[in-house]
Structure 1
Amino acid sequence: MIVHKIQNFMNAGLLVSPWLAGVGKRSRFDDDIFEYLDGQAQSIIDMQWTEQMQTMAFGENLPIPDRIPRTALYEIAASTAVWIAHEETGTPEVTFEFADQALQRMRSYYQTHGLPALVEVYVIATRYENYQAIAYYRDMPERQFILGHLHRPWVDYSLQDELVIGVLTGNMSIRMDGERRVVSLTNQGHANLIEITAALEQSGYLDQRVRILHVSRFNSAIVLEETVHKMAPDWIPQRAAFVNWSGIEPGMRVLEIGCGDGLLTIDGGLADRIGPMGSLIAVDPSMGMLSRARLKLQESTRKWVQFMKAGAEALPFESGSFDAVVGAAFLHLTDIPKALKEVRRVTRDGGIVSAFNILPIEMDAPFFADWMAPLIDLAKQNGRKEPKNFFISAISIEQEFAKAGIRVEKTEMLASRFLYWWPRENVNVAVRGLGWAQEELATIPWAAREELIDLLEEHGEDVCRRYSQENRVLRFPMQMIRGVID
Structure 2
Amino acid sequence: MTEIVEELPRLAPIMKKLLQEHILVGPTLTHVSVATITSHHQQLIHQEARRLVRQYWPEHWFARPAIQPYYQKVVATNAMIDAITSTAAFYAHLRLGQSGLEGSMILVASKLLETSMKRYSPETVFALAFLVNAYDDYQAIQYYQPMLVTDFVSGQYHRPWASYPLEEECKLILDYGVAEWVSSSDRLSIRLTKKGEDHLKEFQAFLQETGFLEKRAALNRFAGFGQMEDYDEIMNRLSNAKELRAALLKNARLQPNMHVLELGCGTGMLTLDAGLYKKVGLFGQITAIDPSLGMLNRAMKKPYSGASVKFLQATAEELPFESNTFDAAVGFLFLHFTDIPQALREIHRVCKPGAWLTTIYGLQFPQTEPFLEEWLAPIFQQSRSMSKDSVDRMPKEDTIRNILSTLECTYEEVTLEPVEILGKTYEIDQIIRFWFQAGNFFEPFMRNLPWKAQQDLIQQLTERGYRIREKYGEEGMIQHHPGQFLQARVIKSTC
TM range (shorter): over 0.9
- Of 378, 396, 399, the residue aligned with 1:396 is 399
> Among residues 217, 237, 247, which one is paired with 2:224 in the alignment?
217
Separation of aligned partners in 1, 2:337 and 2:113: 27
- Determine which of 42, 45, 68 is the counterpart of 2:53: 45
Q: Which runs of 4+ in 1 moved over 6 A?
A: none
Give the aligned partner of residue 34 of structure 1.
42
Q: Does 1:250 find its partner at 2:259?
A: no
Amino acid of the structure 2 residue aligned with 1:374? P
In structure 1, the residue matched to 2:331 is: 327
- d(CA) in 2 for partners of 1:75, 1:9: 15
SS of corresponding position for 2:188: strand
CA shift, 1:264, in A, is 1.2
**Residue pair 2:32, 2:437 contacting (<8 A) in 1 also:** no
C-alpha distance in structure 1 between counterparts of 2:189 and 2:45, whole Å: 34
- What percentage of aligned pairs have identical amino acids? 26
Alignment partner of 1:208 is 2:208: no
Give me the whole-angstrom Cα distance separating, in 2, the residues matched to 1:392 and 1:62.
42
With over 3 angstroms needed to count, the CA separation of the structure-2 counterparts of 1:188 and 1:318, relative to structure 1, is same
Residue correspondence of structure 1 range 112-123 to structure 2 within 5 A: 112-123=119-130
Q: What is the rounded CA distance, in whole Å, between the counterparts of 1:384 and 1:399 in structure 2?
A: 21
Partner of 1:373: 377
Distance 1:358 1:59 in 2: 53
**TM-fit CA distance, 1:214:** 1.0
2:439 — aligned with what?
A: 434
User: How far 1:59 moved relative to its partner?
Assistant: 7.6
After superposing the two structures, state which structure 1 stretch, 199-208 or 423-432, moved more: 423-432
Distance verdict in 2 for CA 1:114–1:122, change over 3 Å = same
> Aligned to 2:358, what secondary structure does the other structure show?
strand
One-letter code aligned to 1:378? Q
Name the structure 2 match of 1:185: 192
SS of structure 1 residue aligned to 2:266: coil
1:448 aligns with 2:453: yes
Residue type at the aligned position of 1:4? P
Q: Report the AA paired with residue 351 of structure 1.
A: A
Match of 2:32 among 17, 23, 27: 23
Q: Contact conserved, 1:278 with 1:304, CA < 8 A, in 2? A: yes
Q: Residue type of the partner of 1:81? A: A
1:411 matched to 2:420? The reply is no
Of 375-384 and 136-145, the range deviating more from structure 2: 375-384
Q: What letter matches 1:13 in structure 2?
A: H
State the AA in 2 paired with 1:336.
I
Matches within 5 A, 1:46-445: 46-51=54-59, 54=62, 62=68, 65-221=72-228, 224-232=231-239, 234-296=240-302, 299-384=303-388, 388-404=391-407, 405-445=410-450
- Is the contact made by 1:256 and 1:327 (CA closer than 8 Å) also made in structure 2? yes
**Does the 8 Å contact 2:152/2:166 carry over to 1?**
yes
Cα distance in 2 for residues equivalent to 1:430 and 1:239: 20
Aligned-partner residue type, residue 17 of structure 1: P
Q: How many residues align?
A: 478
Paired residue type of 1:478:
G
Q: Any conservation in 2 of the 1:222–1:428 contact (CA below 8 Å)? A: no
What are the ranges of 5 or more consecutive residues in structure 1 without an aligned counterpart? none
| Cα distance in 1 between the residues matched to 2:99 and 2:387 | 36
Structure 2 residue 12 is the aligned partner of structure 1 residue 10 = no
SS in 2 for 1:177: coil
C-alpha distance after superposition, 1:139-187 (max 9, x if no partner): 1101110111100011122211111111112110012232111110011
* CA shift for structure 1 position 92: 4.4
**Shift of residue 303, structure 1, vs aligned partner:** 4.7
Distance in structure 2 (CA, Å) of the matches to 1:61 and 1:181: 21
Deviations 1:416-450 (A, max 9, x none): 21012222222122232222212211110111100
RMSD of aligned alpha carbons:
2.0
**Contact 1:140 1:184 survives alignment (8 Å):** yes
Task: Give yes or no for contact 1:86–1:219 (8 Å, CA) kept in 2.
Answer: no
Q: Say if 2:66 and 2:172, in contact at 8 Å, map to a contact too.
A: no
Q: Is the 8 A contact 2:359 2:486 kept in 1?
A: yes
